[in-house]
Amino acid sequence: MDAYNIGKLAGVLTGFVVGIVLVAVIARFANRNKKMKTEYDERQNVIRGMGYKYGFYAVVLYAALQTILAVAGIELPMAPEVLAFSYIFLGVTVTFVYCVLNDAYWGLNNNRRRYLILMGLIMLLNGAGVARAIADGSLIVDGKLSTMGMNLLVTVMFIIMMAVMGIQTLREKAED
């Protein structure tokens, strides 16, 4: 492993650790009772279980599709780390969409406004990274989506999340 790859690995590991710490801080900040754990009622827990199930099956189907493509000699134009991250992206997105549309995403102790502000901030920061990568030509390298593609997936995921939450809000207002 050369110095460049060691530096890149160190950067990714540092980012991962910082991300975990930020999630813990955000959870405490975003919940009304300052607890890290979100509290759900029994109905929400059942629906969330179904959401996890659908997210799991989406990842399994995606893995099967990837396997078929690999056997056929078809390679998706993305770096291996972006491909690996795309599994996380898919599972989280499917689970989130199901839970939001079935009114099981927001916990009893969540402060929605704080969460929305934080989600918007995360989306903007990742979007800024994507814009920078597009500007300096590092988003696509050798015809493949580079590591910066992970920022693109996160940005897309948060755009989907915001859109789904908007749709759910409109549905709730229409029911009232």
pLDDT in tens, 112-157: 888 888 889 889 999 999 999 999 999 999 999 999 999 999 999 9
15 or 92, higher pLDDT: 92
| Helical residues (DSSP H) of 3-138, grouped into ranges | 3-30, 42-71, 80-101, 112-136
pLDDT for 67: 96
Residues 96, 53: contact at Cβ < 8 Å? no
Nearest-CA neighbor of 11 among 144, 157, 143, 147? Answer: 147
Tell me what pLDDT residue 95 has: 97
At 108 the three-state DSSP class reads: coil
Instruction: Give the Cα separation of 125 and 151 in Å (integer).
Output: 9
Q: Region 22-49: what's the mean pLDDT?
A: 83
pLDDT of residue 153: 96
Over the stretch 41-58, which tens digit does the pLDDT of each residue have? 999 999 999 999 999 999
Q: How far apart are the first and last CA of the chain?
A: 60
Name which of 78, 80, 86, 82 is nearest 62 in CA terms: 86
pLDDT given for residue 45 in this prediction: 96
Q: What is the spatial distance between Cα 160 and Cα 119, in angstroms, rounded to a whole number? A: 11
Mean pLDDT calculated for residue range 99-112: 90
Per residue in 153-173, pLDDT (tens digit) is 999 999 999 999 999 999 989
Lowest model confidence (mean pLDDT) among 25-34, 53-62, 80-89, 112-121:
25-34
